[in-house]
Amino acid sequence: MTISPSLAAGGGTALRAALIVAMLIVTMANSACTPSRQEMQRDVNSALPEAIARRSRWLGADDDKDRAVQEAVKALLQQPLTPDGAAEVALVRHRRVQLAYESLGLAQADLVDAGLLSNPRLALAAHFHQGSLPSQQAQPPGIAVDVEWPFLSVLFLAQRTSIAEARQNAAAARVIDEVLATAADARRAVVRHAAATEVRRLQRADVEAAEGNLVLVRENTRAGNQTPLDLAEEELAYQQALLMAADAERDATLTHEALKQALGLFGGEGDVDVVALSSLPALPVPDAAIVVDPAELEVEAIRRSYRLIAMQRDLDAAARDLGYASVRRFLPDLDVGLVADVDGSDVAVGPSVGVGLPIFNLGQGEMLRRESLLRRGAADLQRAAVALRAQARQTAVAHELNLRRSHQLTTRIIPQHLIVVDELERRLNGMLLFPSRLFAGRRGFLQARRQETEARRDAWLTRIDVEQLRQGSTPFMSPMSSMSSTAGSQANPSYSAQGHD
């Protein structure tokens, strides 16, 4: 096949120009830089408190550091866990943290896709020439080569990338919120189990006191010193003590399992021991001043909430997406390319353009969908902000009341019970009362100790809620659930096992 010099020169120039343009496009498409997993991990950790950032890890980013962290977690599990130690374990072992990080990985993948140009399309065609007479020899087939590329993908590259970046930023904010919530849930689980363990010990002692009192009343009844009514009342009190002890045993078991769940441990990984509730740092002493100002906590929670930040970034991405769609719907598909037609000794090279005709589908449905998504996102953001404001104020009030209740029990009621028990022991030594009266006094002291333990638990739970709000995360449970009275906790003994994964 002979190609004329002029056609060959013209075709060569066009081909060279096309190759140069293609190389520039490929270079521009590959120049987009996306952050690595380590970089995204550092960005997340920079927003976290230092104690939490030290253990928060996206597993798989660095195998050596992952092994070191796992060994540190194993060492923590070999000793009684403090609330902070439990938070460190949960941040490594609980899968909800890794799920959050992988959602960030998915957002990163979307960002990479948004920054890539569409692939060109190659079309080959062959056409055969048949002579008009049977004696004529058929000519060699002609070949057409068409390379087309969607040119508009370059024009909208920046818009697509900005939308994906906004969504990635929203995913990063959700990771921070999930990390903070995981740490707070683990701390709450330790407090609940420590309180349930202490209540179980007190209820066992109460059963012993009730049993000892019952034995004395039986002997006094046989001797005629007490009536059958006294005996029946003591039998009832003993059975009630057994019931409350059974409830305490159940709560201790349930809170232990809830603790393992909050830590992300499997069922067969053995028991987890926690420190005693009394060994936790002392709670602040309430005075005339407000411990936590509701208005101040409300403002701080709204300002720092990563959940609201994520929703705002989602709303920003939805607005950008709507703007992109509103322009894109009126711009048809535009494919530009290069066509080479080889027909015998002739070679023709030239540009090609393919245009989509926006006649039937103008994207009306997609526009309505994006507008609805934008309005729904704005309404959801307002709803979440109102709920967070209310929860912050409720948490501040609940913490104040729980602190005052715990302080009153510790400084007033418990010392008064001790005075009563000491006086009863003195009178018993002087033969001035029945021993059953002393047993009843001791049982009253044990019940007051239970109330004090539950009040200290509630104060610690609301304290963790306050800290979580200040860090920028939102507690899952309503803070009003931490304002339980003794009667409420007896009516609902499973309170101390409540929690969420």
Domain spanning 32-126+141-497, CATH class: mainly alpha
Q: Are 462 and 401 in contact (CB under 8 A)?
A: no
Q: Is the predicted pLDDT of residue 373 greater than 80, yes or no?
A: yes
182-192: average pLDDT = 93
pLDDT tier at 34 (50, 70, 90 boundaries)?
Answer: low
* 223 DSSP 8-state letter: T
Measured between alpha carbons, how far is 275 from 190 in angstroms, rounded to an integer?
A: 8
Count Cβ atoms below 10 Å from residue 91 Cβ, excluding itself.
Answer: 26
Look at 128-137, 244-253, 282-291 and tell me which has the smallest mean pLDDT.
128-137
pLDDT digit string (tens) for 388-413?
999 999 999 999 999 999 999 999 99
Number of helices followed by number of strands (H, E) in the chain: 15, 4
Side-chain half-sphere exposure of 203, counting CA atoms within 13 A: 25
Higher pLDDT, 219 or 483: 219
pTM confidence score: 0.80
Measured between alpha carbons, how far is 299 from 318 in angstroms, rounded to an integer?
A: 26
Residue 387's pLDDT is 94
Q: Are 122 and 147 in contact (CB under 8 A)?
A: yes
CA distances 55 to 91, 173, 188, 307, Å, are 6, 18, 18, 21
Q: Which of 87, 101, 93 is nearest to 70 (CA)?
A: 93
Residue 491's pLDDT is 36
Measured between alpha carbons, how far is 353 from 231 in angstroms, rounded to an integer?
A: 103
Q: Are 341 and 348 in contact (CB under 8 A)?
A: yes
Q: Are 120 and 148 in contact (CB under 8 A)?
A: yes
Residue 433's pLDDT is 65
69-73: average pLDDT = 80
Measured between alpha carbons, how far is 127 from 412 in angstroms, rounded to an integer?
A: 103
Long-range contacts of 456-459, Cβ-Cβ distance < 8 Å, separation of 24 or more: 456/195, 456/277, 456/283, 456/406, 456/410, 457/191, 457/192, 457/194, 457/195, 457/277, 457/496, 458/402, 458/405, 458/406, 458/482, 458/483, 458/484, 459/283, 459/399, 459/402, 459/403, 459/405, 459/406
Q: Is the predicted pLDDT of residue 8 greater than 50, yes or no?
A: no
Q: Which of 15-28 are b and which e, b meaning 16 or more Cβ less than 10 Å from the residue's Cβ? A: eeebeeeeeebeee
16-33: average pLDDT = 51
Side-chain half-sphere exposure of 299, counting CA atoms within 13 A: 4
> Per the structure block, which two tokens stand in for 374?
């934008």
pLDDT digit string (tens) for 326-346?
888 877 777 777 777 776 667
pLDDT tier at 383 (50, 70, 90 boundaries)?
Answer: very high
Amino acid, single-letter form, for residue 346: D
Amino acid, single-letter form, for residue 228: P
Measured between alpha carbons, how far is 36 from 44 in angstroms, rounded to an integer?
A: 12
101-105: average pLDDT = 90
Tell me the domain boundaries of the chain. Answer: 32-126+141-497
Q: Are 188 and 461 in contact (CB under 8 A)?
A: yes
* 118 DSSP 8-state letter: P
Averaged pLDDT of the chain: 80
